[in-house]
Homo-oligomer: A and B are copies of this chain.
Amino acid sequence: MDIKGFRFSAVEAAIKKPGRKDLALIFSEVPASACAVFTVNAVKAAPVLLSMEHIKGGSAQAVVVNSGNANACTGDAGMIVARETANLVAQGLGISDQAVQVSSTGVIGVPMPMKRIRDAIPPLIEGLSSGTLDDVAQAIMTTDTFPKMEAREAEVRGTSYTVAGIAKGSGMIMPNMATMLSYIISDAAVEPAFQERAFRKAVAQSFNAITVDGDMSTNDTCLLMANGMADNDLIREGTAEGDAFEALLNDVLLSLAKQIARDGEGATKFVEVRVSGARGDDDARLAARAIANSCLVKTAFYGQDANWGRIFAAVGYSGAEVDQSLLSLSFDGVLMARNGIFAGGDAEQRGTEVLRKREFTVSVDLGLGNGSATVYTSDLSHDYVSINADYRT
Across the interface, do A305 and B392 meet the contact criterion of CB distance under 8 Å? yes
Chain A interface main SS type: loop
In the bound complex, residues from chain B placing their C-beta under 8 Å from that of A215 are 317
Report if A324 contacts B (CB, 8 A). yes
Binds B, one of A84-92, A240-248, A296-304: A296-304
Report if A55 contacts B (CB, 8 A). no
* CA gap between A214 and B293 in the complex, in Å: 13
* B-contact 0/1 string along A356-393, CB 8 Å cutoff: 00000000000000000000000011101110111111
- Min CB gap A388→B, angstroms: 4
Across the interface, do B314 and A72 meet the contact criterion of CB distance under 8 Å? no
Chain A positions within 8 Å of B, measured between CB atoms, are: 40-44, 70, 72-75, 77-78, 107-111, 174-176, 214-218, 290, 293-297, 299-300, 302-303, 305-310, 312-322, 324-325, 327, 337, 339-342, 348, 380-382, 384-386, 388-393
- Min CB gap A90→B, angstroms: 26
* CA gap between A250 and B41 in the complex, in Å: 35
- Min CB gap A68→B, angstroms: 14
Q: Name A290's contact: one of B175, B299, B314, B380 (CB within 8 Å).
A: B175
* CA gap between A348 and B393 in the complex, in Å: 9
In the bound complex, residues from chain B placing their C-beta under 8 Å from that of A44 are 316, 324
